[in-house]
């Protein structure tokens, strides 16, 4: 294999890319490829001299990597490559359950609750007969007082009699379990993007054209569909992390 370039041979130059960014990249390579967790990187004054930059530039680059969790400083001792951090995982949850997991306080503005005949597509999804009636529930969902999502959901009335007599400000999944003995155990969900129109923007307290993540979810309890809901989340303020595993059937 051809000789590899040492990070010491790299020169930091004036140019479109800021010096502190070049140094950040260089230190990243040094830390991960040459040194490994626990090792010390060269001192600030040494890096100044080696790469002919100011100490403030060196400190800015190191600050960035500390913020990213790659390095850590010890006063009077040096700067060291940090050990990597751990991650956690998620599951099927209602909006309220989801927000509480993050230490946020979920709340709700109820917009609409009425019994009606749903559109054909919704009726199909819920397994309703042509004359079947469902509850229509529209809500703004908030986390710590901030509007996050706009929800428009349908719930079969036959399976959930008296739903309108319950407090619908919290988790519907918890309500279904407690009041009806119906445990949501599975959902099929479809996601696409939309631009917020003026009505939606107003309800979400966002500018028009804000990108939205739109989720259509059909939830079931023991194979029985109980929910058809479309939720519009601010795509600029909400992100989703997911773990993908190899398809076991493949």
Residue ranges that bind DNA, judged by CB under 7 A: 14, 18-21, 43-46, 52-57, 59, 73-79
The CA angle 99-100-101, to the nearest 5 degrees, is 90
Q: Are 172 and 166 in contact (CB under 8 A)?
A: no
**C-alpha span between 101 and 215 (Å, rounded):** 20
- Return the number of the residue (161 or 169) whose C-beta is nearest a copy of itself: 161
The CA angle 103-107-111, to the nearest 5 degrees, is 155
DSSP character for 76?
T
Report in angstroms how near the CB of residue 71 gets to DNA at its nearest: 10
- Return the number of the residue (92 or 113) whose C-beta is nearest a copy of itself: 92
Tally of residues, the chain: 250
Sign of CA dihedral 215, 142, 150, 233: negative
Taking every pair of Cα atoms in the chain, the longest distance, rounded to a whole number of angstroms, is: 81
Q: Which partner from the list DNA, a copy of itself, none does 44 bind, CB cut-off 5 to 8 Å by kind?
A: DNA
Report in angstroms how near the CB of residue 105 gets to DNA at its nearest: 30
- Return the number of the residue (69 or 169) whose C-beta is nearest DNA: 69
Report in angstroms how near the CB of residue 217 gets to a copy of itself at its nearest: 8
Report in angstroms how near the CB of residue 180 gets to a copy of itself at its nearest: 16
Q: Which partner from the list DNA, a copy of itself, none does 115 bind, CB cut-off 5 to 8 Å by kind?
A: none
Report in angstroms how near the CB of residue 122 gets to a copy of itself at its nearest: 10
- Return the number of the residue (1 or 11) whose C-beta is nearest DNA: 11
Q: Which partner from the list a copy of itself, DNA, none does 175 bind, CB cut-off 5 to 8 Å by kind?
A: none
Report in angstroms how near the CB of residue 166 gets to a copy of itself at its nearest: 21
Report in angstroms how near the CB of residue 179 gets to DNA at its nearest: 40
Query: Which tokens belong to 9?
Result: 């041979």
Q: Which partner from the list a copy of itself, DNA, none does 11 bind, CB cut-off 5 to 8 Å by kind?
A: none
Q: Which partner from the list DNA, a copy of itself, none does 167 bind, CB cut-off 5 to 8 Å by kind?
A: none
Q: Which partner from the list DNA, a copy of itself, none does 163 bind, CB cut-off 5 to 8 Å by kind?
A: none
Contacts with 141 (C-beta within 8 Å, 6 or more apart), sequence order: 95, 106, 107, 108, 147, 148, 149, 150, 151, 231
**C-alpha span between 101 and 163 (Å, rounded):** 26
- Return the number of the residue (143 or 163) whose C-beta is nearest a copy of itself: 143
> 247, 97, 73, 70: which is closest to 177 by C-alpha?
97
Q: Which partner from the list a copy of itself, DNA, none does 132 bind, CB cut-off 5 to 8 Å by kind?
A: a copy of itself
DSSP character for 42?
P
């Amino acid at each position: 294999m051809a000789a590899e370039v040492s990070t010491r041979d790299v020169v930091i130059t004036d140019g479109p890319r800021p010096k502190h960014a070049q140094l950040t990249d260089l230190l990243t390579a040094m830390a991960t490829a040459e040194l490994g967790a626990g090792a010390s990187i060269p001192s600030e004054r040494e890096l100044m001299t080696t790469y002919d930059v100011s100490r403030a530039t060196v400190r800015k680059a190191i600050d960035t990597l500390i913020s990213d969790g790659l390095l850590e400083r010890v006063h009077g001792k040096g700067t060291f490559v940090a050990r990597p951090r751990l991650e956690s995982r998620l599951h099927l949850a209602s909006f309220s359950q989801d927000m509480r997991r993050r230490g946020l306080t979920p709340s709700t503005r109820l917009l609409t609750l009425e019994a009606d005949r749903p559109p054909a597509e919704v009726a199909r999804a819920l397994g309703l007969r042509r004359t079947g009636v469902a509850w229509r529930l529209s809500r703004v969902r908030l986390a710590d007082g901030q509007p996050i999502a706009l929800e428009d959901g349908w719930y079969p009335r036959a399976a959930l009699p008296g739903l309108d007599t319950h407090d619908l400000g919290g988790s519907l999944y918890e309500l279904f379990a407690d009041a009806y003995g119906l445990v949501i155990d599975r959902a099929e969900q479809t996601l696409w993007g939309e631009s917020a129109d003026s009505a939606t923007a107003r309800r979400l307290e966002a500018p028009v054209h804000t990108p939205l993540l739109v989720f259509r979810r059909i939830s079931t309890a023991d194979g029985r569909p109980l929910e058809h809901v479309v939720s519009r989340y601010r795509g600029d303020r909400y992100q989703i992390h997911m773990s993908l595993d190899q398809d076991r059937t493949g």
